[in-house]
Structure 1
Amino acid sequence: MDLLIKNIGILFNGYKFIRDTSVYIENGLIKSIGKNERAEEVIDANGNFVMPGFIDSHTHIAFAGYRDFEIEWKIAGLSYEEIARRGGGILYTVEETRKASEERIIKEMEERAREMFMHGTTTIEVKSGYGLDKKNEIKLLEAINELKSNATIIPTYLAHAIPHGYDSEEYTGYVIEEILPEAGKLARFADVFCEKGYFNVEQSERILKEAKQHGMLPKIHADEFSCMGCSRLAAKLKAISADHLLMADDESLMEMKKAGVVATLLPATPFVLNEEYPNARKMLNMGLNVAIATDMNPNCYVGNMQFIIQLAVYKLKMPIVDALKAATINAAKALNLKDVGSIEYGKKADLIIFDAPSPNFIPYYIGKNLVKTVIKEGRVYSQ
């Protein structure tokens, strides 16, 4: 089956804008751009904007139990740690997730993934992390692997928090000895929440090094609330990405650049926590590959990458072209993916056709889903 998308007003190919062009797709792959091809199926873009499908490289959609009750605490100025002490936070979600069946978790994940796909996301990374004990972490990873979605799903094991009954050192040993050998059979990446009150730098390093022995590539939640050397650890381990980075210092960021670590920024998280935003312009000027993602989780319940681009433009002060790169080709790098993220010969045909004439409309038209058609590996899904 072949497909031609013609009359594209502006095409973003993952790197730059191309005007008045077309894309030819065969057997789910990009075959040519801008050539006069014939195809069994033809879509007329009517002068609208086309770009690669969004890649959401950091999500926590594998959970049960919502935390909408935290909103009043947030607007009252309570910190992340204070909310946790009042009974909210990660450990509340852990309790609710442990009570839920795998079937319920799969069903709720599928609903979230469906909504994300409708908003243009064709690849979704999904972390565990709300089980904490071996039984429930494996339950979550199995659920992630069972998830049926039009989007590609990338499973990640996350050492997320210290459960009741353990100190951080005891739990680090438990993760290494009990969870990682099984998680390695189910996850492509391993991630650690490296932060005060969670895992320190030395514990994070031990977990990620051991995870690599079980076939998982390292990622890290780094320097979100404090600068404690987590982004420097990402550079030392040559992690695929370091995420959050609100408090990362310049020296650590430069080490990340030299090590090829992608800086993944999650602007919806400071948005819902009323915190300062990371300095994306500085990272871009340093030459870092900057990605953006939703961080969708029960604390930050947003799965719409169009909104994340809006935050990236208005709050992170990212030029539109850099925000689009961050949501596509750089997000692919944050997942070590070579076959998606741009519209190039031989890559998977994951594309979005917008009901808008230019990329400017994504940050300009706030609150509307501008996606008209999603194409996933050559299959057409119209809204």
Structure 2
Amino acid sequence: MQQLLPDDVIWRNARLATLDPSRSEPYGMLDNQALIVRDSMIVARVPESELPAHPHSIDLQGRLVTPGLIDCHTHLIFGGNRAAEWEQRLNGVSYQALSAQGGGINATVAATRASSPETLTALAEQRLRRLMREGVTTIEIKSGYGLNLDAEEKMLRVAHQLARQHAIEVSPTLLAAHAVPVEFRGDPDRYLTLVCEQIMPSLWQQGLFEAVDVFCENVGFSTAQTERVFQAATALGIPVKGHVEQLSRLGGAALISRFKGLSADHIEYLDDAGVAAMAQQGTVAVLLPGAFYFLQERQRPPVEQLRKQGVPMAVATDYNPGTSPFASLHLAMNMACVQFGLTPEEAWAGVTRHAAHALGRGATHGQLAAGFVADFIVWDAEHPVEMVYEPGRNPLYQRIFRGKVT
């Protein structure tokens, strides 16, 4: 039995879905349990019957407790919206015509560049609160709608501001290699020189991001161009990840794995060689069913091959204005099951321990176990499947961040 200290807090009489892979029970489920929290960490998980009397105990009355949810791929910060553009597309206007009119990603870049930090913060807060109300306690936020040094820095500083103002952990990612800005149209390599030689080293030196992302795709950057960015990042000691194999098969996942990247995201066109490379290096597959749905795609990621090779599968919202405007991780979990064939237990692992690994936090986040941060959710629900089965209903009872109710 863990030696209790006077300031410890016991969260008792709970049904724990620990998501601990060392447990054989589905979801790592344990009944009649208690969590002992010291400061901001879980120091023990003990049966209710072994608890001594303690002045600081909270009776959860048999409620379900899970780890806090982790949304490991979002584009939460941007100016404007693309609702009118989406309507035009549904009315038959082609993407090429919209782009020629200044639509697409460059419309969001223009709106983001023109927005003040205060405006971007206010807009992002609305989206963030919706995710927090569903139980999200850790979130990744990418830049990538600035595409120059000042605007990329502005976006990343807004991400840090959100972390300071809200009870949530933010993992900021530099996605300067998201698209070629209009001022470099026709010369992507010159733009990547700016990314590699100015934007990335300057913002890394300021401690504004944790990892570098690249949109490696036939409408983005080639594998050779992506490798150039990864080489520059690696030289600075920066972890890498990437948007890969979403619309075509370029070999981006294998490239990420060669650089021991954190995650390969989207991966609808991932082939067997890419799966094997990811399995060998421990690269996480991040599934993004919101974009798959919104774009009415048909090519599903190779979930069965990922299972067979033991590649961890995370699930995220991919919240963004162009292809996945869904600030609901519960909905993403449901979509991952319905569209991609994940089991509900796999979806839960995908928004907890596997999402934690995708953000380099696998040893500290995403499980209810000793040594993990005390981020957890108390639900008015009998079983974790309920949040996957019925995403419109949110049975959240309490959200605990770093051991405190928020």
TM-score, normalised to structure 1, is 0.94
Is the counterpart of residue 5 in structure 1 residue 11 in structure 2? Answer: yes
The residue type paired with residue 146 of structure 1 is: Q
8 Å contact from structure 2 (residues 243, 266) kept in 1: yes
- The alpha carbon displacement at 1:154 in A equals 0.9
Counterpart position of 1:138: 153
Q: Distance in 2 between matches of 1:76 and 1:243?
A: 30
- The alpha carbon displacement at 1:209 in A equals 1.5
Is the counterpart of residue 275 in structure 1 residue 300 in structure 2? Answer: no
Show CA shifts across 1:235-288 (max 9, x none). Answer: 111111111101111111111111111111111111111113323233122210
Counterpart position of 1:187: 209
Q: Which aligned pairs between 1:256-271 and structure 2 lie closer than 5 A? A: 256-271=278-293
Residues 353, 96 of structure 1: alpha-carbon distance in 2 compared, 3 angstrom cutoff:
same
Counterpart position of 2:3: none
State the SS of the aligned residue for 1:228. coil
Counterpart position of 2:221: 199
- The alpha carbon displacement at 1:68 in A equals 1.4
Q: Which aligned pairs between 1:138-157 and structure 2 lie closer than 5 A? A: 138-147=153-162, 148-157=165-174
Residues 70, 349 of structure 1: alpha-carbon distance in 2 compared, 3 angstrom cutoff:
same
Show CA shifts across 1:139-181 (max 9, x none). Answer: 1112222222211011110021001132211211121122111
Counterpart position of 2:394: 369
Is the counterpart of residue 160 in structure 1 residue 178 in structure 2? Answer: yes
- The alpha carbon displacement at 1:83 in A equals 5.2
Residues 57, 40 of structure 1: alpha-carbon distance in 2 compared, 3 angstrom cutoff:
farther
The residue type paired with residue 155 of structure 1 is: P
Residues 350, 192 of structure 1: alpha-carbon distance in 2 compared, 3 angstrom cutoff:
same
Counterpart position of 2:112: 97
The residue type paired with residue 93 of structure 1 is: T
- Which structure would you say has the larger Rg? 2
8 Å contact from structure 1 (residues 190, 219) kept in 2: yes
The residue type paired with residue 11 of structure 1 is: A
Counterpart position of 1:106: 121
Name the Cα RMSD after superposition: 1.9
- The alpha carbon displacement at 1:38 in A equals 4.2
Q: 2:195 aligns with which of 167, 175, 187?
A: 175
Show CA shifts across 1:300-326 (max 9, x none). Answer: 122221111111222221112111111
Counterpart position of 1:346: 371
How many residues align structurally? 381
Is the counterpart of residue 29 in structure 1 residue 49 in structure 2? Answer: no
The residue type paired with residue 103 of structure 1 is: E
Counterpart position of 2:25: none
- The alpha carbon displacement at 1:344 in A equals 1.0
Q: Which aligned pairs between 1:315-330 and structure 2 lie closer than 5 A? A: 315-330=339-354
- The alpha carbon displacement at 1:183 in A equals 2.1
8 Å contact from structure 1 (residues 23, 33) kept in 2: yes
8 Å contact from structure 2 (residues 275, 305) kept in 1: no
**Unaligned 5+ runs, structure 1:** none
Residues 86, 282 of structure 1: alpha-carbon distance in 2 compared, 3 angstrom cutoff:
farther
Which segment is superposed worse, 88-97 or 68-77?
Answer: 68-77
- The alpha carbon displacement at 1:109 in A equals 1.9
Counterpart position of 1:230: 252
**Unaligned 5+ runs, structure 2:** 1-6, 22-27
8 Å contact from structure 1 (residues 123, 151) kept in 2: yes
Q: Distance in 1 between matches of 2:86 and 2:13?
A: 45
Q: Distance in 2 between matches of 1:183 and 1:340?
A: 26
State the SS of the aligned residue for 2:286. strand
Which segment is superposed worse, 363-372 or 233-242?
Answer: 363-372
